Amino acid sequence: MSGNDALKYQVTLLELVDRVLNKGVVLSGDITLSVADVDLVYVGLRVLLSSVATLEEQAA
């Protein structure tokens, strides 16, 4: 993966998670997702993204 591809991948993943968690129509119903849950998703995402960065370093 080139630096540009890796960046594009990271931004795409971040944009995806942002859309699913923060955008979209709210159809009311019960809240099943706490702020802590959302934070966990982002922490997981950071782990994943940092592993992409590691991959890139190894490839360089």
Partner 1 sequence: MIHVYGVVDGLEELPRVLGVDEAPLERRRVAGLELVLSRAETPPSAEVSRKTVLRHAQVVEALMCRSAAILPAQLGRAFRDEDQLATAIEEQAVQLERSLERVRGCVEFGLRATPEPADAPEADSGADYMHARLEQVRLQDDLVERLHEPLARLARATSLQRRTGGVSAAYLVAHDDARAFETAAALLESTPGVTVVCTGPWPPYSFAAGAS
Residues that bind partner 1 (CB under 8 A): 7-8, 11-12, 15-17, 19-34, 37-38, 40-41, 44-45, 48
Cα–Cα distance for residue pair 36/10, rounded to 1 Å: 22
CB of 12 to partner 1, least distance (A): 5
Q: What is the dihedral of CA 14, 20, 25, 31, to 10 degrees?
A: -120
* DSSP code, position 24: S
CB of 34 to partner 1, least distance (A): 8
CB nearer to partner 1: pick between 22 and 58: 22
CB of 6 to partner 1, least distance (A): 11
* DSSP code, position 29: S
